[in-house]
Amino acid sequence: MKKTFIAVAALMLLGTVSFAQHANTLTKKEKKAGWKLLFDGKTTKGWHTYLRDTVGSKWQVADGAIMFDQTKPSNGGGDLVTNQIYENYELNLEWKVAKGSNSGLIFDIQEDRKYGATYTTGPEMQVLDNIGADDNKKENHLAGCLYDMAGDASVSKPKPVGEWNKVRLIQNKGHLTFYLNAIKTFEGQIGSDEWNKLVANSKFKDKYFSDFAKVAKGKIALQEHPGSSYWRNIKIRTL
């Protein structure tokens, strides 16, 4: 009996390891449900640096993940943006950061040269080392929060630095729902009275952000910021 139990346990462990190795792929069930990969695990195909035609050298692919490498020359930076525009969708991905690092998942971006940065038009789900990053002083700047607008430590529960975090972001007709590691960190409607109050109490009230979150449709970006960030299993389905 003991030998049988050990054999079964070993098979289960091998199965778990095998499953874990299949990052950046879709199951038959996911394909049937309409999911599509935004990252093939090998290249940055389908992405470019904001306001450029190519991908800057700071964005590398290593070990099945897109990595922002701050050691590369500064002219190789900029936010990494999808080639395509997305409107009503569910987006899933995983991220991790190095100690002290800061980044973000920005969406509804209107890519136009009159906007100098992705965050001029696009809201952000914060990506952060809550303990070691400099930008951890305000609670709505913590990981998983709607950056500078909503969220606090009660919902921001990232994994320890170096471990993968799971994001689920849903946008349907301007209705947003954020999850970080299966914990809901935000829910609200773009353009509603409640949303406008959040904007009015944030840095996005300034004239520079006059077109911020005006359109619930746009490109999706991985943000350049201090430190190193890593991204994988980036998949999306249209609603």
Q: Which residue ranges form the domains of the chain, and what is each CATH number?
A: 24-238 (2.60.120.560)
Per-residue model confidence as pLDDT tens digits over 131-156: 999 999 999 999 999 999 999 999 99
pLDDT < 50: residue spans in the chain: 1-19, 21
Q: What integer pLDDT is reported at residue 18 of this predicted model?
A: 40
How big is the CA angle at 100 (ends 94 and 103), to the nearest 5 degrees? 45
Supply 39's token pair: 């990252």
For the chain, give the secondary structure using H, E and C.
CHHHHHHHHHHHHHHHHHHHCCCCCCCHHHHHCCCEECCCCCCCCCEEECCCCCCCCCEEEECCEEEECCCCCHHHCCCEEECCCECCEEEEEEEEECCCCEEEEEEEECCCCCCCCHHHCCCEEEEECCCCCCCCCCHHHCCCCECCCECCCCCCCCCCCCCCEEEEEEEECCEEEEEECCEEEEEEECCCHHHHHHHHCCHHHCHHHCCCCCCCCEEEEECCCCCCEEEEEEEEEEC
- Please state whether beta strands 47-49 and 80-82 pair in parallel, antiparallel, or not at all (unpaired): antiparallel
Q: What integer pLDDT is reported at residue 73 of this predicted model?
A: 78
Q: What integer pLDDT is reported at residue 11 of this predicted model?
A: 44
Q: How far apart are CA 179 and CA 94, in angstroms?
A: 12
Q: What integer pLDDT is reported at residue 4 of this predicted model?
A: 46
Q: What integer pLDDT is reported at residue 155 of this predicted model?
A: 98
Identity of the residue numbered 227: G
- Whole-model pTM: value is 0.90
Supply 76's token pair: 């190789």
